[in-house]
Every structure is written in structure tokens, then in C-alpha cells.
Amino acid sequence: MSKLTQTVLGTHAGYGLTVLRIFVGIIFAAHGSQKLFGWFGGNGLAGTAQWMESIGLAPGVLMALLSGGTEFFGGLALIIGLLARPAALGLTFTLLVAIFTVHISNGLFMANNGYEFALALLGGTVAVLIEGAGKVSFDGVISK
């Protein structure tokens, strides 16, 4: 197995990170499906694109596709533990954009649309990025 493959897919993490990865993945897949498909009360691609434009992220359709796609497919990747580190990297960047374009000026707490929830998710994505997918994952099976 190549060094690059081992670096991307390998993990020494245990079951705890597996649980964290799955729960964070569920949240991201659900949020991405709101943006892309309008599921779970979301606005769908057109509504998300319009909102992205309104906050200065243009072109709105491209930004909605990038954020929604990263959240949905990155979330699915975390849930099954396949290419978890690349997914976590994309999700980390998505969260940083969300924090600094939408939430930071509102303070920490969610009650004021602050960055509290995004910061918690950021902790999860950075943990996966550093430690890998955990014991129960396709990455772990492939890297053996």
C-alpha cells in the first residue's frame, strides 16, 4: 500500500471516533439535503442560492452547490467511513466559511445565530481529519 493511501485512509482511532464521525455525518448529510433537495424543511437549491447571493457569496448557485454538495456527500462519506479525511477537510472549510461569513458577528450562542453549533461540528471534523475514520470504517478495511 502506498504511503499516500495509508496517510489518507489509515486510522489508529478507536470506537469513540467512529461514533463521533457517524453522528457528525448524519448532521451534515441532513443539512446538505436541505440545501440541495429541500428536504427536512430546507429551501432547496434555488432558495439556498438566493440566500447565498444575499449574504455576498456569489454566484449563488455555485456556492449553494458547493456547500450543499460538500455537506451532503461529505456527510455520507463520514457516515460510512469512506474517504473520511478528505470529506472532513472539505467540511472543515465549509464550516470556517459559515462561521466567518454568517455567525461570527452574532457571538457564540446559537440563540443569537452565533457560531456555537458550527464550532462544535468543527471540533468533530478536525478530530476526523487528524485521527482518521476510526475502527469501524471502510477506510480502515481498505488500509489494512
User: And the C-alpha cell for 98?
Assistant: 459559515
List, for residues 5-49, the tens digit of each pLDDT value. 777 777 777 899 999 999 999 999 999 999 999 999 999 999 999
Q: How many domains does the chain have?
A: 1
Average pLDDT, the chain: 94
pLDDT(1) > 80? no
Range of the domain at 23: 12-139
3 assigned to some structural domain: no
List, for residues 84-115, the tens digit of each pLDDT value. 999 999 999 999 999 999 999 999 999 999 99
CB of 103 closer than 8 Å to CB of 114: yes
4 assigned to some structural domain: no
Q: How far is CA 75 from CA 19, 41, 43, 78, 109, in A?
A: 13, 18, 19, 5, 24
2 assigned to some structural domain: no
CB of 83 closer than 8 Å to CB of 40: no
93 assigned to some structural domain: yes
6 assigned to some structural domain: no
